[in-house]
Structures are given as structure tokens and as C-alpha cells.
Structure 1
Amino acid sequence: MTSALPELVSYLEGLPEPHILFDRQYRILAANAAYRRQFSPDASVLGRTCHEVSHRFRVPCDQAGETCPLVRARESGQRERVLHLHHTAQGEAYVDIELVPLRDASGEQTCFIEKMAPLRVAQGEPAAAGLIGRSPAFARLLEQVARVGPSNASVLLLGESGTGKELIAHAVHEASARAAHPLVVVDCASLPESLFESELFGHERGAYTGAHAARPGLAEAASGGTLFLDEVGDIALAMQVKLLRLLESGTYRRVGSTELRRTDLRVVAATHRDLKAMVADGRFREDLYHRLSTFPIRLPALRERAGDIALLAVGLLARVAPQRRLGLSRQALARLGTQPFPGNVRELRNVLERAALFTDGTLIDDLQIEQALAADGPVAPRVPVRAAAPPEAGPSLREMASAQLQARLDAHHGSRAELARQLGISERSLYRKLRALAPRE
């Protein structure tokens, strides 16, 4: 291996992707320019361990709660792939790792080559765009995206509403060789059966009343790229047959035409419905289900990745109020962490947007979070308009928040301690809010 090292190092240096060569003790023997730029631009990595450079770990990955590709390669005797969260010059980022063991003349594994491909659609820290998370459930989701993305396999995204299925569809598309071509979204739930065929396949002039000109469909627009069928469970049975033909043969006919057309596309579908149950009930074609679910991915609910709520909250806040540079107090983050969020990430985003509107300063506290959460409860009585206000003016945001708290107080017949527990705040915080409600002398 030593005699081949210079040639091997020269080969790695010419590769565009980050590569390192390291020994059985995890010590880096060689690192190409791409690796040095991304992971250690200001210091040498030679002689240091891969887990120190990439993770800031003092021990190997498998001793720090991660999956170590070297350990897996020793056990399997073959190349291994894992998804890790690495420290880079741009911050923490998810990296798809492929490790290949190298053997000496006796067949013993002596060195390992590791190739790293950043998963650019996800971050392990707050960001203004893309997927955000660090929890094990989120990491497993991304690992599946990294596996299926480069292929042409059909992907079926399953999960509750609000879990981010369209974002994952974009991630699958961006990880594919089709990323330079369009991702075309078909909102199946909003298209009536009478328009679905025309929207998907297009129509010729005079095909029906109002068709004054020929028009290409979404399947044609997606050629070379990805067709995302959102809420695919809402497609009528009659249309499912024609969709199946498109997926199996890549062919279709515009409405009003006998000409067979071809398109080259990859399909990603999504639904919150139980398609297997719909197949059993005869509401969804079994052959179409199997054609769509070549690679099913279940998206975790937010309650399954509670450790990501703080990261998501900071990132989402930057999206809903980009000009205000708002922050979240520890108490606010703690309050968010106690919520079940049945509406998942979409509900979290709504709460943060409301909390931003309730906030006058630059820091959102638990009071504003409580006000935002209470907005989903019973409608509070309106606060009378002050005399100084114009007749058409409504209550201010602060008055609305006070009214919501007053409504909860009026409806509660137990102790103050019990009310504080229901609101998810301390008794001290509750008394502070009640003092603010009291009329001033």
C-alpha cells in the first residue's frame, strides 16, 4: 500500500468531490483539495482523525452515537454508505458518505477511501430556506432521500398534513440528475375530474367549449424533470387508468387528439391518505399504487422529532418575518416544545407568524407564544374601541391578546395554579399577566 500511496494521492487530488484516505486508526493520510476547502480551509488535516475534523469528536463516530462507516466496512468487508452531520467552513451540513476499504496483498483491510457529497437541501442548524433538523427521525428521512434521489425510481411520500412533503419532493428532485430541469407540481386535490385530464395531458384547439387554442399539459412541461403529484389519493378512478398508462409507457394523448406523445419524466407522489386501505376498498387502483410506491418514504410527524422544534422555530421565524430580525426567548422555546402540534410544521409556522404579530419589540417571549396558541381556541369577545379611536378602528393586537386571556380567566372555575398549568406557564408568569389586565388607577 505504501508504494502505491503517491499515485493514489495524486488520483484523489484530481477528483472534484471531497475525498480522504485514512488508516485503521482513523488517521487521515491524504485529503484532496475539495476536502480541505470544505472541511478545514485554515489548518492541515494530515495526521488528525476523521472524526475530529468532521465532527469535533474525541472518539470515533460509533462511540459518540453515530453510525461509523469504517466499523460497518470492517464487518461487511465491502463499501458502505451513511449520512452524517459534519462541520464545514459554512457551518454544519448533512453529508452523504461513501467509504471503500482498500486491501493489501494478503487481503487485509489496511486503508479506507471516503467520498463526501453534501446534501445541499438540508441543514442541521437554523436557515432561511430548505429542510432543517438534527433528530434521528429527520436524519433517517434524509438518508432515504440521499439513497433514492440519484435514481429514477418513483417515490411515494406518506405522512400527515403539514410534515413538508413538497419540500421533500424538491429535495428528491435536487438530488437527481434531473435537477437542471423543472419540477412541475400537480395539485390533485384542487383539480376537478373534468379538468384533470386537460391539465395533465393538455388539449387541442376545439377539444371542448372554451378551448380556443392548443395547450400543452403538465406532463409535457415536466419532460426531462420531475412530476410531483401532490395528494395523489384524491385522483378519480377514471383518471387513475390514464395516469397509469403515462407512468408505465411514458406516453399520453392530448384531449381531442389521437396523436400519441411521449415524455421523459420521473414521478414523485404524496398523500396523507392510507392508500392501502383505499386499494382494499376499491377506491384506488392496486396497479397504480404499486407503480407509484417503488420507494415509499414516510415523513415523521413533528411530535416524533420534538428535538427539532427549537431549530425549526428559529428558521421559520426568519421566513415569516424576514425584515424584523426577531428572536425567541428560552421560555418561548420551552413553551413551543410542550406543544403536540397536530398540524405539524405548518401549524408551528402559523403560531410563529401570529406570535410575531403580537410582538412589539425584537424578542418573542412565552406571553406572545401563549397568545398565538390561544388564537386557535374559542373566539374572544371584542374589546370596545377607545373613544379617541376613529369609529371604524378595531382593537389593537395588545387588546386582542388581553381579551383572549380574560376569556380564559372568565371560563376557568378552578385555582390559579390549575389555570397556569393549563396555559403551560408558571404561576408567577400568570400573576404578571393578570396584573397587566387590571385597570390602572
Structure 2
Amino acid sequence: MSLSPELISYLESLPEPHILFDRGYRILAANAAYRRAFSPEGSALGRTCYAVSHRFEAPCDESGESCPLARARESGRRERVLHLHHTLHGEAYVDIELTPVRDASGAIAYYVEKMQPLGSVRASEGGERLIGRSEAFRSLMALISRVAPSDASVLLRGESGTGKGLVARAIHEGSNRASRPLVVVDCASLTESSFESELFGHERGAFTGASAARAGLVEAADGGTLFLDEVGDISLAMQIKLLRLLESGTWRRVGSTELRRADLRIVSATHRDLHSMIADGRFRQDLFFRLEVFPIHLPALRERREDIALLAEALLGRLAPRRALALSGDALARFAAYDFPGNVRELRNLLERAALLCDGARIELSHIDQAMESCRPWRAGGENPGAQEASPPAATTLAALELAALDEQLRRHHGSRAELARRLGISERSLYRKLRALRATQASDNGTPKESEPG
């Protein structure tokens, strides 16, 4: 069946990248937006979609990916998935929407696929972007791609240092408000007396020092997104005023009786347990329900260890762009076995210290050891820097910390030693050497003789 000129013209008129392919996955047409982003000079025509987008030799569902065509063939309706695609600028996460096209008899003849790249996300590149390939990261991206085009309020929950600010930016840039401002309110840094003025603005003479009228952050965000970072730190009195804004879209400047309106999308974030705060009377339940229309949990770095190497590479490129620094295998293995209580922020700090300690082009394990040494008392004591005084940690050296981390990995791992070595990013020989050291340490702690070292 030949393609009609009207169908080709329709595809070309669409601003987003679109392709049309047959039941055998063969690309029959690609519009200009697709060619600019994915395939110059129409080089995708005649090839299969999975070969062009993924470099696969078989369809996605036979290569470990979710295949929208297979799902549409089964359901007979439009399907949507998030895929990692090859583009002219490297790999990128792309929101896929596939629609079956039926012929006069009602049978599916073609499929039209619309692609929407997630602008603030990368699979492996640097810059101030979300980076990752792990399953936990991809699940996070799928939620972002779902909620970003809407106006729903989003509550980002996760530990400090997991990148909540970057996720908020990704949501904003994936929305219809991307051309309007993303305004950040750092709730943790504002006192109760300054919060209302910062958020809503004030009139001249409203309070001592208000020598001129001043617009607030709500006005600055009009038409765009207001990001309330660390929303759990807002006082109860200010929570009432924020609730009024969310319910009615209206507010008043401090010192004014004039009611103003704003068109806002609210994204908020916290590392606190808001449910416990509600139970304790420290957070309003009605405000919580306004904020948590679409909750997103951000995984800790220890929940996405597969991304550590990608993150380290990108962070080093940002921290020392002229040096082309790389991590040695042993240095990367140390990171892979470490739980990073400070998450990506802690990884960045360790890499910056190690880069300053390194004179060559490769950061070795010794540089990582030295970088970690400066924060060892804090890590050993947990979140409270003084905790170690009340309960001294059992592991008092970096070597002991590494062995303790390896012991924890062994308890969690149920596969082969070869699989564990691959997961840690080290050779099997290095793994066995570390296991011998672990057994020797445990034997010493138990008062039993050490095993003889094999030759």
C-alpha cells in the first residue's frame, strides 16, 4: 500500500518528531522534526525502528525493552512508553506515544510514533542534568514524563542530595509552561517573618525597612512553575497562607488589601516524613493533600549503584573540564561498595576533593581514600556528627570501612561471585583478594587463627 501525499503532508506539519512504520517495524516516513533530532537526510527510511533507535538486532520486546508496537498490536489502541534512544547528540530519554492507523477494512496497516525527548535528562552526558540508566532511574523518568505535561501539583520525596531540584526543573521543562519562569523558594532558609514577604511581596511602609513596594516570588512565577524546596520546613502559620494560595490562586501583598491572582503550577520537595509531621500536628493535612496530587519518590544513590560510574564521569567533566580525569577500577570499586549517605551531593564533593589531590589524569584508590578520610568521623557517626562520642564505631580505618561495605554486599547478594564482581566493577581476582581479607578480619575478631594465604 503506497502512502498518500496527504498523510506525508500531515506528518511534515507536526512540530514534534514523528515516524510512520509498517507492521514489520520498517520506517516508511519521517517528518522534518524527526530528521533534525534523530536521523539526518532521511537515513532512517527503510530501516527498522528498533535498529535506528536502539541499535538492536531484534524488536524491543525481544531485547529487554518494552515495545509499544507489540503492546498496540495486542490492545488495538494507543500505547505510551519511555525509551532510551540514540539521537544526533548521544543517548537521551524519549517519551514515546504510538498510535495504530487502520485501513478501510478496519485492520491495522501502519503505526505512527510521536517522540518527545525529556530535555533535562541524559543517559550519560554531563552538564546540570539528571543522569542514569538504572532501573530505579528509568522508573523515575517514566513518572516525570507522565506528569510533566499536566498542571498537577507534584511532591518530590527523597533523601537530601538526591537531585530534587533537577527533577523539578525536568518537570517544568517538560510542561507547557517551559517558556515561563521556574521560580525556586528555599523554604528552609526563610524565617517565619520573612517568608510571607518573600513569597507574596510587600507594599511600601508595610514594615520597618520596607522603603519601596516589592513583588514577591509568586508574582515572578506567574504563568510558570513555583518550586517549594523543603516545604516541610514551613511554619504552621505560613502553611495556612500557602494553602489559601493553592486553593484559590489568590494572595495579597503584605500591607495591601488588593487581592491578586496568579496562574501557577506547584512543585514541592522535602526530605522529611510529612505523614509523621501531620500526626504530630506540625504539618497541615489539607495542605499535604493539595501538594501531593502526584507524589514521586527519588531513589537514593545506593538504590541505583549502576549509575555511579556515569555520574562520576559526568561530574568529573564538570569539575575539571580541562583535565579529562578518569577513575581507576579500584577507585570506582570503592564507590560501588559505599552507601553514600549524602547521595549525589556527597559523590560530587568526594570527586572534587580527589581531583584536587590528584596530579595525573587518573584518580586512584589512594586519592579516594584521602578524600574520604576527611569525612570519616561524620560518616561513622551517621547524620549526627557527635554520635560517635556516645557510641564509637567498630570500623575505625578506611580499610575496615571497605570490608564492612563488602560484607554488607555479600549479605544482600544471592548470585555468583562473578556477578558480584561485575556489580562492584572489579575483577574476580580483586574480589577474591578482598574476600580473603574480609575472612581474615572476621577470624581475627572471633579469636580464631587466620587462614593461610594461597600462593
Name the TM tier (shorter chain).
0.7 to 0.9
Q: How does 1:94-113 map to 2 (within 5 A)?
A: 94-113=93-112
Q: Distance in 2 between matches of 1:39 and 1:280?
A: 51
Deviation at 1:277, TM superposition (A): 2.0
Residues 334 and 402, structure 2, Cα contact 8 Å, conserved in 1: no
Look up the match of 1:26. 25
Change (3 A) 1:75 1:234: same
Residues 182 and 226, structure 1, Cα contact 8 Å, conserved in 2: yes
Deviation at 1:334, TM superposition (A): 2.1
- Are 1:150 and 2:149 counterparts? yes
Change (3 A) 1:420 1:15: closer
Deviation at 1:307, TM superposition (A): 0.5
Change (3 A) 1:43 1:202: closer
Look up the match of 1:67. 66
Q: Distance in 2 between matches of 1:143 and 1:19?
A: 20
Q: How does 1:23-422 map to 2 (within 5 A)?
A: 23-41=22-40, 44-378=43-377, 421=403
Residues 356 and 364, structure 1, Cα contact 8 Å, conserved in 2: yes
Look up the match of 2:5. 6
Q: Distance in 1 between matches of 2:154 and 2:263?
A: 16
CA-to-aligned-CA distance 1:142-166 (integer Å, 9 cap, x gap): 1211111121111110111110000
Q: Distance in 1 between matches of 2:242 and 2:107?
A: 52
Deviation at 1:13, TM superposition (A): 2.5
Unpaired stretches in structure 2, ≥5 consecutive residues: 379-395, 407-425, 435-455
Q: Distance in 2 between matches of 1:179 and 1:45?
A: 30
CA-to-aligned-CA distance 1:396-415 (integer Å, 9 cap, x gap): xxxxxxxxxxxxxxx77xxx
Q: Distance in 2 between matches of 1:330 and 1:13?
A: 48
Deviation at 1:44, TM superposition (A): 2.7
Q: Distance in 2 between matches of 1:156 and 1:197?
A: 21
Unpaired stretches in structure 1, ≥5 consecutive residues: 380-410, 429-441
Counterpart residue type for residue 240 of structure 1: Q
Deviation at 1:419, TM superposition (A): 8.7
Deviation at 1:232, TM superposition (A): 0.4
Q: Distance in 1 between matches of 2:153 and 2:401?
A: 50
User: In percent, how many aligned pairs have the same letter?
Assistant: 68
Deviation at 1:299, TM superposition (A): 0.7
Change (3 A) 1:360 1:70: same
| Equivalent residue pairs, number | 396
Q: Distance in 2 between matches of 1:179 and 1:88?
A: 22
Change (3 A) 1:233 1:309: same
Residues 123 and 133, structure 2, Cα contact 8 Å, conserved in 1: yes
Residues 370 and 423, structure 1, Cα contact 8 Å, conserved in 2: no
Look up the match of 1:391. none
CA-to-aligned-CA distance 1:265-297 (integer Å, 9 cap, x gap): 111100011112222222111111111111111
Partner SS for 1:169: helix
Residues 19 and 113, structure 1, Cα contact 8 Å, conserved in 2: yes
Give the TM-score normalised by structure 1.
0.84
Change (3 A) 1:419 1:188: closer
Change (3 A) 1:12 1:291: same
Residues 338 and 405, structure 2, Cα contact 8 Å, conserved in 1: no
Deviation at 1:10, TM superposition (A): 2.6
Partner SS for 2:263: coil
Deviation at 1:213, TM superposition (A): 1.6
Superposition RMSD on alpha carbons, in Å? 2.4
Partner SS for 2:232: helix
Residues 199 and 218, structure 1, Cα contact 8 Å, conserved in 2: yes
Deviation at 1:101, TM superposition (A): 0.6
